[in-house]
Chain A
Amino acid sequence: MADLNDRLEELGKVVSDTSDRLTDPTVIAAARRRWLESPQARPARASRRRAALVLAAACVVCALLVAFVTFVTRRPSALAFAVGTPPLPGLVGEWIGASADAPSVVRFSDGTSLTLAPSARLRITETTARGAGVLLEQGSVEASVVHTGADTAWALRAGPFDVRVTGTRFEAAWDPVAETFDLTMREGAVVVRGPVLSSERTLVAGEHLRVSVRDHVLALGASQPAAPMASAGPATSIALAAPRDSAAAEAAPAPIASAVAVATSAPRGVATGADPAAKAADLGLDPGWRELAAAGKYKQAFEATERVGFLQEVERASSAEVSTLVDIARFAGRPALAREALLAQRRRFGARGRSAFLIGKTAADQQGNAAEGVRWFEIYLSEEPHGALAEQALGRIMELTKRDSAGARSAAERYVARYPSGSYAGLARSILAR
């Protein structure tokens, strides 16, 4: 033990000496300053520490309290639903079917309702505080989804199709035998995803989508009652939407041409082996502008766009579709609308280069506005100085500019420098020779 004590003392002395060598001379000075500046001699550090501990404890208690209250009061509970009349409590996953001669209604606790057409079959696959999942197995259903907040989330699945809903009113139908899906929008908007649709597609109020998975054809048009698909079974949304007597049905207006557009999933301009217009006719649909444009019938296509509003179509069409609308307007002899579509393409999709060239060409050739044409050709050259249309743009500038102007000489010099053997070389040299 004595030996251990000796060793400890030896170690302790080394530690002590080291401690002394590491002394911080500012420690005593700092303590002295505080001591002399605190005549009340309050245990400042102790009180500060105690206050900090009390504050920390209070914060912890408050946080726990808030968390508890939030958990208790705001814990979202899943929606409940009842089926039929009188209403019976519904169960998630339970098969729900309407009788063959009467609709059936599913009502949710948030006010949402699903009206099943006769013979329709569906299941509620899940319920959350923000919505529910609906699996439409067969037939049609009219949904009136209450928008309770930004996080409202309803989903309807019908065969291979998914419909995302936040708050809207629509009719959906699925015929598993004919493999046709119908979606008729009444209010709001939904996002649809499924086969034939090349990507997610947003449908808004007033639109009607019909997709034939078997024929690989989709029809998009106005949501007016349309004749059921030839191959579709009796349980379609059309039948559900407005039961009419035969006289009324006969008196009802035929689907307007603009109401329906047909497209295939094949790339635009690629032959699909059958005329899209003919396919549309087979489906009992009038062809829309997409299908007519694909068939090269631009005048008819333009007429179709006019019925739904050309500029409205421009605003909601995809980039490729806007290009088609540009062609439709140009070939239909409506340069002003073509220009608007091109400007929309630049604004909405950031299109550069070719769109500028086309605006310039439209201005120069169809609108008789040479200055505007020159301006847009220059824009093209600034955006794509070495683009495929650069030679044409320079040539057009020379053509459109007064031959004795500085602009013409500048364009001619640029042209000769870049395209000494180009098709506009003669013109350029004649300008430079003046």
Chain B
Amino acid sequence: MRHTSTSPVPEDPRPRSIVRTLPGLRDDTALVEGLAAGEPWARAALFERYATPIERMLRKILGPDQHTEIADVLHDVFVQALGSLDRLRDPRALLSWMQAIAAHTAYRTIRARRARRWLHFWAPATLPEIVAPDVDEEILDAYRRTYALLDRLPADERVAFALRYIDGMELAQLAVVCDVSLATLKRRLARAEQRFAAGARGDLILRRWLEEGGRWPT
């Protein structure tokens, strides 16, 4: 802050003017400009602003997998974002743009994971071991089986399904994130729902969820 005590004019009773905006308070347009200028604060601010929602989104798409490090994928998303910043047309749509990159990165991760699966020598049908003592075992079982079933869906359908039903994304936003038209998205989702429902019918636990809704009486 600058002091104006030498000014002959009477002191302004209002708060002194703020000459620098803290990075966290700057809007996305300023953030994008800072990124384009190579400002270190902008890189840090980008991460602080979007790491949490992007990590959440990735986690909802990818689910539990012992061979995938969410931190790696998250880092990839930001690297991709920074590397393709010149293709961002509207800085105000930075969140959607980051989400689109995250969705695409998750899609590539799923494809790569499947391509590498034969190298891991583990049975694809094996459910990942999850230790969560504070989560109800039935819920945990449904969680594991849902992602095991999603593993059998095509990668694009899995991304759309996970973002729609697990992340709760609206259709219009989802179409933007998936970079497809709304009609295409709906068809993709319909296929994913059919596949998932068909798979769930063969699963004792998930079938009950889809037929009876919620938890069943024990």
Chains A and B bind each other: yes
Q: Using known A-B contacts A7-B213, A20-B56, A43-B79, determine if residue A12 contacts B166 with beta carbons closer than 8 Å.
A: yes
Cβ of A349 under 8 Å from chain B: no
Looking at B60, B71, B146, the one whose CB has the most chain A CB atoms below 10 A away is: B71
Taking CB atoms, residues of chain B closer than 8 Å to A5 are: 193
Q: Are B143 and A28 in contact (CB under 8 A)?
A: no
B162: nearest chain-A partner, CB-CB: A12
Taking CB atoms, residues of chain B closer than 8 Å to A388 are: none
Stretch at the interface among A33-41, A146-154, A256-264: A33-41
Number of contacting residues on A, CB 8 A? 38
Looking at B52, B166, B197, B209, the one whose CB has the most chain A CB atoms below 10 A away is: B166
Residues B31-86 near A (CB distance < 8 A): 40, 43-44, 47, 51-52, 55-56, 59-60, 63-64, 70-76, 78-80, 82-83
Cβ of B30 under 8 Å from chain A: no
Q: Are A34 and B75 in contact (CB under 8 A)?
A: yes
Q: Are B44 and A36 in contact (CB under 8 A)?
A: yes
Within 8 Å by CB of A4, from B63, B130, B210, lies B210
Q: Are B51 and A32 in contact (CB under 8 A)?
A: yes
Q: Are B168 and A22 in contact (CB under 8 A)?
A: no
Q: Are B75 and A35 in contact (CB under 8 A)?
A: yes
User: How near does chain B come to A6, taking the closest CB pair, in angstroms?
Assistant: 7
Residues B145-195 near A (CB distance < 8 A): 146-147, 164-168, 193
Q: Are A10 and B168 in contact (CB under 8 A)?
A: no
Taking CB atoms, residues of chain B closer than 8 Å to A315 are: none
Cβ of A27 under 8 Å from chain B: yes
Q: Are A21 and B80 in contact (CB under 8 A)?
A: no
Q: Are B135 and A31 in contact (CB under 8 A)?
A: no
Could you give, for residues 8-21 of chain A, a 1 whenever the CB lies within 8 Å of some chain B CB and a 0 otherwise?
A: 11111111101111
Taking CB atoms, residues of chain B closer than 8 Å to A44 are: 75, 79
Q: Are B72 and A45 in contact (CB under 8 A)?
A: yes
Q: Are B75 and A9 in contact (CB under 8 A)?
A: no
B215: nearest chain-A partner, CB-CB: A14
Q: Are A36 and B43 in contact (CB under 8 A)?
A: yes
Cβ of B134 under 8 Å from chain A: yes
Could you give, for residues 67-98 of chain A, a 1 whenever the CB lies within 8 Å of some chain B CB and a 0 otherwise?
A: 00000000000000000000000000000000
Tell me, in angstroms, the Cα distance from A19 to B165 when the chains sit together.
13
Summed over the interface, the residue pairs from A and B with CB atoms below 8 Å come to a total of: 120
Tell me, in angstroms, the Cα distance from A270 to B80 when the chains sit together.
93
Within 8 Å by CB of B83, from A11, A16, A41, lies A41
Within 8 Å by CB of A11, from B59, B73, B146, lies B146
Taking CB atoms, residues of chain A closer than 8 Å to B78 are: 31, 35, 41
Q: Using known A-B contacts A7-B210, A8-B196, determine if residue A31 contacts B60 with beta carbons closer than 8 Å.
A: no
Q: Are B70 and A8 in contact (CB under 8 A)?
A: no
User: How near does chain A come to B43, taking the closest CB pair, in angstroms?
Assistant: 7
Taking CB atoms, residues of chain A closer than 8 Å to B168 are: 9, 12-13, 16
Cβ of B95 under 8 Å from chain A: no
Taking CB atoms, residues of chain A closer than 8 Å to B166 are: 12-13, 15-16, 19
User: How near does chain A come to B214, taking the closest CB pair, in angstroms?
Assistant: 6
Q: Are B47 and A23 in contact (CB under 8 A)?
A: no
User: How near does chain A come to B64, taking the closest CB pair, in angstroms?
Assistant: 7
Q: Are A14 and B165 in contact (CB under 8 A)?
A: no
Q: Using known A-B contacts A15-B142, A18-B140, determine if residue A31 contacts B74 with beta carbons closer than 8 Å.
A: yes
Q: Are B83 and A43 in contact (CB under 8 A)?
A: yes
Taking CB atoms, residues of chain B closer than 8 Å to A22 are: 64, 130, 132, 135
Looking at A21, A24, A41, A46, the one whose CB has the most chain B CB atoms below 10 A away is: A41
Q: Are A27 and B63 in contact (CB under 8 A)?
A: no
Q: Are B197 and A23 in contact (CB under 8 A)?
A: no
Q: Using known A-B contacts A4-B197, A22-B130, A27-B74, determine if residue A15 contacts B64 with beta carbons closer than 8 Å.
A: no
Cβ of B18 under 8 Å from chain A: no
Q: Are A35 and B43 in contact (CB under 8 A)?
A: yes
Cβ of B103 under 8 Å from chain A: no
Tell me, in angstroms, the Cα distance from A42 to B197 when the chains sit together.
41
Cβ of B139 under 8 Å from chain A: yes
B192: nearest chain-A partner, CB-CB: A8
Taking CB atoms, residues of chain A closer than 8 Å to B112 are: 49
Q: Are B146 and A10 in contact (CB under 8 A)?
A: no
Cβ of B206 under 8 Å from chain A: yes
User: How near does chain B come to A10, taking the closest CB pair, in angstroms?
Assistant: 6
Q: Using known A-B contacts A4-B193, A18-B139, determine if residue A10 contacts B75 with beta carbons closer than 8 Å.
A: no
A24: nearest chain-B partner, CB-CB: B70
Cβ of A251 under 8 Å from chain B: no
Q: Are B80 and A6 in contact (CB under 8 A)?
A: no
Q: Are A41 and B82 in contact (CB under 8 A)?
A: yes
User: How near does chain A come to B197, taking the closest CB pair, in angstroms?
Assistant: 6
Q: Using known A-B contacts A30-B71, A35-B47, A46-B76, determine if residue A23 contacts B59 with beta carbons closer than 8 Å.
A: yes
Tell me, in angstroms, the Cα distance from A11 to B213 when the chains sit together.
8
Interface pairs (12), CB distance under 8 Å: A7-B209, A7-B213, A11-B165, A11-B210, A12-B168, A13-B166, A16-B168, A21-B132, A31-B51, A31-B71, A35-B78, A45-B73
Interface set of A (CB-CB < 8 Å, partner B): 4-16, 18-24, 26-28, 30-32, 34-36, 38-39, 41-46, 49
Interface set of B (CB-CB < 8 Å, partner A): 40, 43-44, 47, 51-52, 55-56, 59-60, 63-64, 70-76, 78-80, 82-83, 112, 130, 132, 134-135, 139-140, 142-143, 146-147, 164-168, 193, 196-197, 206, 209-211, 213-214
A9-B168, A10-B209, A22-B130 known; 11 new pairs, CB 8 Å cut-off, are A6-B213, A15-B147, A15-B166, A18-B140, A22-B132, A27-B71, A28-B51, A34-B75, A36-B44, A36-B47, A43-B79
8 A-B pairs closest in CB distance: A12-B165, A30-B71, A31-B74, A18-B143, A43-B79, A12-B166, A31-B71, A45-B72
